[in-house]
């Protein structure tokens, strides 16, 4: 298949994905912009980790640090405004998936746990969108390099609430479940269920999608395990996000190789998110 035919088939598949989506057009467009925005963020995170592993500079960045790197790029402020809208749209779509069961997951225990994870995703990406907007409006402010609330500071706050240890540990369990579903979706072609792709295009893209799902699934399992440990021990310093996970990987024997593999995987997940943006069918609540 020539490159021209691949591109032509891809355009046809992307158009079919929009046509087959049952959600209102505005929600379809917001969700797709959201997947693309998530993809850009993970491409930056993965590239920074890969550069550090190769000794080319780089950093073990979280999502907020990735947005600050976007700000420093040419046209970064304009891109941040796009990411602000996209991450807000992604949070809205996650709310539809979690609260209104747009993906028709059901009401079983595992489904409810997965939907709880989607609700956490809605909150985190909504907060990330707010942070992107803050950076865009304070592009030249002296405090634009601040990360904002960290996973550890949020864990410390929640641990101070009645039953806070169980809330932190429960959130960790939900994150582990979401990470595990990433692994499960990488088996066979289950990841392609919501995608509108021709068989040949799917064959070309499948390795990228699988690698990305495994890498992010592994990162989420680590993040969730840290939260569970922090909740059960009531030690917020034991919690951590993506940056702490990447730092922990880099500190292991053969850490540079492991960090490079994880960075490549997170970049693959960014590409997978862009693939979802183009080819995912978006079903509205109740359309199962």
Q: What is the pLDDT of residues 10-32, one digit of tens each?
A: 888 899 999 989 889 999 999 99
| Domain presence at residue 92 | yes
Residue 208 lies inside a defined structural domain of this protein: yes
Instruction: Give a yes or no: residue 76 inside a domain.
Output: yes
For residue 112, the model assigns a pLDDT of 84
In this predicted structure, which of 42-56, 105-119, 179-193 has the lowest mean pLDDT?
105-119
165 near 234, Cβ under 8 Å?
yes
Q: Is the pLDDT of residue 145 over 80?
A: no
The pTM (predicted TM-score) of the whole model is: 0.91
In a domain, 101, yes or no: yes
pLDDT of residue 140: 57
Match 């046209």 to its residue by tokens. 75
Asked whether residue 45 carries a pLDDT value surpassing 80, the answer given is yes
CA distances from 82 to 18, 57, 70, 119 (A): 20, 27, 11, 23
Buried b (16+ CB within 10 A) or exposed e, 94-105: bbbbbeebbbeb
Instruction: Give counts: helices (H), strands (E), the chain.
Output: 10, 0
Q: What CA–CA distance (Å, rounded) separates 22 from 31?
A: 13
More confident residue, 272 or 108: 272
Task: For residue 195, give the 3-state DSSP assignment.
Answer: strand
| Number of other CB atoms surrounding residue 193 within 10 Å | 9
Q: What is the mean pLDDT of residues 89-98?
A: 94
- Tell me phi and psi for residue 102, to 5 degrees: -60, -25
What would the mean pLDDT of 64-90 be, rounded to a whole number?
A: 93
288 found inside a domain: no
| CA 45 to chain CA mean position, Å | 11
Is there a domain that residue 287 lies in? Answer: no
Residue span of the structural domain in which 242 resides: 3-279
pLDDT over threshold 80, residue 116: yes
Within-domain flag for 286: no
- Whether residue 284 lies inside any domain: the answer is no
Number of domains in the chain: 1
């Amino acid at each position: 298949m020539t490159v021209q035919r691949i591109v032509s088939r891809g355009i046809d598949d992307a158009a079919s994905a929009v046509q087959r989506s049952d959600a209102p057009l505005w929600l379809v467009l917001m969700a797709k912009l959201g997947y693309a925005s998530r993809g850009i963020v993970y491409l930056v995170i993965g590239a920074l980790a890969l550069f550090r592993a190769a000794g080319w500079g780089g950093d073990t960045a979280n999502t907020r640090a990735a947005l600050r790197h976007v700000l420093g790029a040419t046209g970064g402020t304009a891109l941040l405004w796009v990411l602000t809208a996209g991450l807000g749209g992604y949070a809205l779509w996650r709310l539809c998936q979690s609260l209104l069961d747009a993906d028709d997951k059901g009401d079983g225990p595992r489904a409810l746990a997965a939907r709880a994870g989607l609700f956490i995703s809605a909150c985190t990406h909504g907060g990330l969108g707010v942070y992107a907007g803050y950076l865009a409006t304070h592009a030249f402010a002296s405090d634009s390099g601040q990360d904002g609330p960290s996973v550890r500071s949020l864990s410390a706050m929640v641990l101070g609430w009645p039953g806070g240890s169980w809330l932190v540990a429960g959130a960790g369990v939900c994150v582990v479940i979401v990470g595990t579903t990433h692994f499960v979706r990488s088996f066979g072609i289950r990841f392609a269920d919501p995608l509108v792709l021709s068989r040949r295009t799917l064959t070309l893209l499948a390795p990228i999608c699988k690698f990305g799902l495994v890498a992010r699934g592994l990162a989420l399992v680590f993040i969730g395990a840290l939260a569970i440990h922090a909740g059960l021990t009531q030690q917020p310093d034991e919690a951590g996000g993506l940056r702490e996970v990447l730092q922990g990987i880099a500190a292991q024997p053969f850490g540079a190789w492991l960090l490079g593999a994880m960075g490549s995987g997170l970049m693959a997940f960014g590409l997978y998110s862009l693939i979802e943006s183009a080819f995912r069918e978006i079903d509205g609540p109740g359309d199962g």
